[in-house]
Amino acid sequence: MLSTSELVNSVGSTNLNSLPAYKMLKEIESRFALLHSIRDDLVEFGRFSGDLLSKWHDDIALVSEFREGLDLHNVVISKPSGFTRWKAFLRSNSAKSVRESYGIPEQKAEFMDYASRMGVLAQCHGRASKLLQRIKNAIRYYSTQPNEYGGEGWFLVFDTLTFDTDSLNQVLEYYRSSPDVREPIKLGSGSHVRSVSGSPSKHYTDAIGKMVLSASPSSEKVSDCYKYFCIPELGDKHGRFHFHVIHFCKALSDFALRDPNSGSVFKTNLEVNDFKSKWLFGDSMPIAVRYSGDAFSSFGWLNPREVKQDGQYAIAKSDPMALANYLAGYVSGASDEHFKRSAFEERSDRYESVYPDSMMRFKSSRGLGYELPSFCELSDYEVESLTKCSLDVSPVNLLIKDFAKRELVERLKSRGASVRDVASSYERPVNFLDVQRAVFDCDRELSIDQVSATVNIQYGIDEYRSLFPAVYHWLEFYGLLHSGFKIEDEGYAGK
């Protein structure tokens, strides 16, 4: 069993902030640091006197009152009595507004050196990698879950949504306006005008969710039978804005379940026609993701055929994991664009100058892609080892690491540790940016992953086999090793 100190330092500060009392303590300490920084600035400018001096002491006294009301001996799982009042105080007194109230100019961001830019690149690629792992894990999970009709696997539909010119102009006007004054998007003209509230992607996925719910009697709400990923993308040639959506459906309407190739000589049609009418902003191409043993096969759908260069037709069979690989380029491209804007303050002509950030955000059903088995059969040491899981072990190692840390937080809560125990046990980790600067000053040929390896311990597949055999068998049993995500055939029928 791990000690409290070992648990605290295994989960990291981000996960510890899920503990209300600990988070409140850290926010109070941060507010004290802000006020002392303001005092130093006022002294430097020769203005720490009169009304500003009195205001500063009043602010210190108010924060001290919150600090004194925080019982450090209380168990960390409980919410402090002043937590709600403290949150309201922070909402009405942001760090920026506090500095402005003292007449302190906003601090401008410093010039980003090479190490800082590489750090931003690592963050962008890390987010993209986690999104791709969520997509892979969701496809792995829902392609084996029972559907509404007793078969194995939910219905997977890959959709491409484009905009006509008039609709795109309306959508751009909607996103560029302030969220407080946004009006519904108006589509059509004359007596055929239709108002759409909310973003186009949400309106569409809500409509699909309701359709799936009506076809799934065993489901009480949409989240029981329908999930989605929505990925914005710009075309390579002309920068055409469009969405890619992956639908996970437990059931489909009778109309959607009709094989589009029934009675056709050339069996090349893959579209699920019932989806097309739900997209009001342009064209929709909802394609059934076909692979060996998919849910569509149990309803008599014929194997679709692809046209080869020699004019012959070949049966298109594949593994559903190929869909995630197909989307990898889109996610990586968006990640690189975000890196350019964040690290170099560049605005791509085909990206940010036309389309606001709010249009280019990935969207998904809540919790989709985080379907992982319970850690209850593993010991503290074994769960802690999973916080160091490398990509060599599992293609969803980032998700495993996150969930292992959350599991350790839950075990920390169950021990009844106090706020003081957690705060005193936490050891601030090495500043990774300082390490990057020191390393890159000597050798810029190293990758960010190689630099990270000098700070963070990572366990490979050999370490788990020899040091943590129970963890290795757990990963193997639940199909979380690379063999569980193996792609049997290249490409997929929805490509």
Taking only the tens place, the pLDDT of each residue in 148-207 is 888 888 999 999 999 988 888 888 888 887 766 677 777 766 556 666 777 888 889 999
Look at residue 488 in the predicted model and tell me its pLDDT: 47
Instruction: Dig out the tokens for 156 from the structure.
Output: 């997977």
* Domain range annotation of the chain: 7-101, 118-364, 380-485
Look at residue 470 in the predicted model and tell me its pLDDT: 94
> Is residue 274 within 8 Å of residue 252, measured between CB atoms?
yes
Residue 56 main-chain phi, psi, to 5 deg:
-60, -45
Among the ranges given (70-84, 335-349, 394-408), the one the predictor scored with the smallest mean pLDDT? 335-349
> Is residue 77 within 8 Å of residue 422, measured between CB atoms?
no
What is the reported pTM? 0.81
Instruction: Tell me the pLDDT of the chain averaged across its residues.
Output: 81
Among the ranges given (137-141, 147-151, 263-267, 357-361), the one the predictor scored with the smallest mean pLDDT? 263-267
DSSP 160: E
Among the ranges given (115-129, 293-307, 436-450), the one the predictor scored with the smallest mean pLDDT? 436-450
Residue 115's alpha-carbon distances to 110, 124, 228, 430, 448, in angstroms, are: 13, 14, 36, 15, 9
Averaged over 328-351, what is the pLDDT? 54
Q: Residue 265 pLDDT > 80, yes or no?
A: no
Averaged over 438-456, what is the pLDDT? 67
- From the number of C-beta atoms within 10 Å of its C-beta (0-12, 13-18, 19+), residue 367 rates as exposed
Instruction: List b or e across 285-304, with b for residues whose CB sees 16 or more CB atoms inside 10 angstroms.
Output: bbbbbbbeebbbeeeebbeb
Between 450 and 102, name the one with better pLDDT: 102
DSSP 350: T
3-class DSSP state for residue 289?
coil
- From the number of C-beta atoms within 10 Å of its C-beta (0-12, 13-18, 19+), residue 269 rates as middle
Averaged over 418-431, what is the pLDDT? 82
pLDDT digits (tens, 9 = 90+) for 40-87: 989 988 888 888 899 999 999 999 999 998 888 887 777 888 889 999
- Confidence label for 491 from pLDDT (cuts 50, 70 and 90): very low
Look at residue 310 in the predicted model and tell me its pLDDT: 54
> Is residue 120 within 8 Å of residue 109, measured between CB atoms?
no
Strand 194-196 with 226-234, pairing:
unpaired
Averaged over 317-342, what is the pLDDT? 65
Instruction: Dig out the tokens for 276 from the structure.
Output: 């097309």
Query: For the chain, first and last CA: distance in Å?
Result: 49
